[in-house]
Chains A and B, each alone.
Chain A
Amino acid sequence: DAGVTQSPTHLIKTRGQQVTLRCSPKSGHDTVSWYQQALGQGPQFIFQYYEEEERQRGNFPDRFSGHQFPNYSSELNVNALLLGDSALYLCASSFATGVTDTQYFGPGTRLTVL
């Protein structure tokens, strides 16, 4: 049973560019959450997708957007990249039972903005 997978593993971009990160959830999971983890810090919640819609959003600007596909996979898009966007981006999946949807994390995508 494959866990949460993310691609690519590493990415280097320059300021002003746009980037798309991808996530495939754990088998049987229907909810995908995205987190940004800056160096030396805990993950910060970006947003969560369920039934192809953004269900909740953290304190991130509109430059951060996402999408969920019918197969539950998800993309995170970041426009007009800033140096401060350099971080590890983590995808987490869960099954929205409405009770204790424990989130399982992927290995992350390391984004470096130059």
Chain B
Amino acid sequence: AQSVTQLGSHVSVSEGALVLLRCNYSSSVPPYLFWYVQYPNQGLQLLLKYTTGATLVKGINGFEAEFKKSETSFHLTKPSAHMSDAAEYFCAVRHKTSYDKVIFGPGTSLSVIP
């Protein structure tokens, strides 16, 4: 069965500092991988996704993530945090069938300190 773990339920960074949010997955075969962001009282917005090809994926708002098969990881990074990045971030996986369900991690709450 697939599962997703996110190390650190809360992460605080200073404005301008590197953002690193960790995600590890458990799956018998490499799945499709996603990062979503959720702002307070809103739905989820897709930040980026990995399907095939280049393992370094660039997303919106300056975020990127790297798929490392050997480490079963898909960590999210951003070189310089902005105040507007404060939100809840969810890593998610989906098996490579045409319609399998998306499994979400528990989420990491990012705080940005001015």
Contacts and interface: CB of A to CB of B under 8 A. Distances in A.
Chain B binds chain A: yes
A56 B36 contact: no
A90 B43 contact: yes
Contact of B45 (A44, A105, A108): A105
Interface residues of B, number: 24
Given A31-B99, A100-B51, A107 B42 contact: yes
Interface in A34-59: 35, 40-45, 48, 50, 55-56, 58
A50 B43 contact: no
Given A56-B100, A100-B32, A43 B42 contact: no
Contact of A100 (B44, B49, B101): B49
B49 A4 contact: no
B90 A42 contact: yes
Contact of A42 (B32, B45, B107): B107
B90 A56 contact: no
A70 B94 CA distance: 26
Contact of B99 (A4, A44, A55, A105): A55
A114 interface: no
A106 B102 CA distance: 15
Interface of A: 4, 6, 31, 33, 35, 40-45, 48, 50, 55-56, 58, 90, 92, 96-108, 110
Interface of B: 4, 32, 34, 36, 41-46, 49, 51, 90, 92, 98-107
